[in-house]
Structure 1
Amino acid sequence: MRVLLVLVFTLISFSSYSQGETEAEKFWNTLVKHQGKAYEGKLVSPESDSRFEGRLVMHVRSATDQEIKIPFFVGEDRSRTWVLTKVEGLIKLKHDHRHEDGSEDKITQYGGLASSTGFANMQIFTADQETSDLIPYAAGNVWWITVDETSYTYNLRRVGSDTYFSVEFDLTNPIETPKAPWGWVD
């Protein structure tokens, strides 16, 4: 009888634990709350970069249970979209780059899978094999995204180099939603 009670109590405890949200799910759900909203951002590091001149805008354009697409616009350049997908309880980040006609850039779909469920306010992604094959110098890339009630940051550090990129968006002040990214239909 005692063994049966221990077994039942263990199963109840495990069941309660397994029903709780993982850190990755908390992160995901925070982002989903912003679906349809756009926010203005600023370059944090480097302080200036000619490739990122103009108004910086992120738009949580679509969010489902399995995929979140966040276009990132730099001025009139609507070529970039961050694509987050769920893979066996973890989150994968890919970068979708398009030309103005909607065709894929030759450097696209790079990124990586988080190695753990991470934190509720931060997910870390290391370059995957596809990235290493596509962009050999990016094999040491580490990206991380942070999100809380007030801000969203996208960050890149290239291990073994001085490359560090960070852009921050103010989530307290939604702006008018922009046009569709290149390759999308409104």
Structure 2
Amino acid sequence: MSRRLSALAATAALVMTAQPATADPVDAYWANLTALCGKAFGGTLVQAPEGDTAFEGRALVMHVRDCSPERIRIPFVVGDDLSRTWVLTRHEDGRIELRHDHRHADGSEEDATQYGGFTPNPGNDRIKMFPADQATWDRMPNSHPSVWFMEVQDDRFIYAAVRVGTPRAYRVEFDLTREIAAPPAPWGWTD
């Protein structure tokens, strides 16, 4: 296992076993994200699968564009590609759901869209893990199991994705100390 994948495995273990830093780590995590609402930040690709150049040399921007007590939408812009939005939904049972909303320029959904999963436990107030759920398997039956991580630190936001049982892993880190101009609305965006 590579050193980077080992670090992701260690992060997963932390999420699964960490004692919450607050009485309600879900409330605290949601507050940490909501504090970023309306702001955009530049990112750096830290890890990508060997030979995958989809993000290479392109500006990476996250924009915490829309926040409510139940939902946070974060467009993830890659160069001039406005197709991706991370959608986090908070459920009454305490779980947080992550969906990847992918759109064509005309606003219609891409074939690979609305995949994601639910947090398996409260985790801690800074990081959440989202294993792929049955809806993802139904939508993409030939894919390997995936796990996504979203981490909110004081100085950075980290998005990571791992395809379990393969060397495919992504990690993008966004600098929360330097706000940048917000990008245009993502494709298919409706308020």
- Smaller-chain TM-score range? 0.7 to 0.9
Q: 1:50 aligned to 2:50?
A: no
Question: 1:22 and 1:139 mapped to 2: Cα distance?
Answer: 32
Correspondent of 2:103 among 98, 101, 104:
98
CA displacement at 1:148 relative to structure 2: 1.1
What CA deviation, in whole Å up to 9, does each residue of 1:78-105 have, x standing for no partner?
0000000012211110000000011111
- Greater Cα radius of gyration, structure 1 or 2: 1
Residue of 156, 159, 181 corresponding to 2:161? 156
Alignment-mate amino acid for residue 61 of structure 2:
V
Q: Secondary structure at the match of 1:39?
A: strand
Give the SS at the match of 2:147: strand
| Aligned equivalent of 2:90 | 86
**Contact 2:144–2:165 under 8 Å retained in 1:** no
Residue 116 of structure 2 aligns to which amino acid in structure 1? Answer: G
TM-score, structure 1 normalization: 0.85
Structure ranking higher in helix proportion: 1
- Give the letter for the 1:172 counterpart: T
Please identify, of 75-84 and 127-136, the stretch whose mean Cα deviation from structure 2 is larger.
Answer: 127-136
Q: Within 2, Cα distance between the matches of 1:80 and 1:41?
A: 15
* Number of aligned residues: 167
Equivalent residue letter for 1:24: V
Deviations 1:21-45 (A, max 9, x none): 5111111100000000000001000
Please state whether the residue corresponding to 1:160 is helix, strand or coil: coil
Deviation >3 Å, runs of 4+:
none
2:175 to 170, 177, 182: 170
What does residue 133 of structure 2 align with?
128
Unaligned runs of 5+ in 2: 1-21
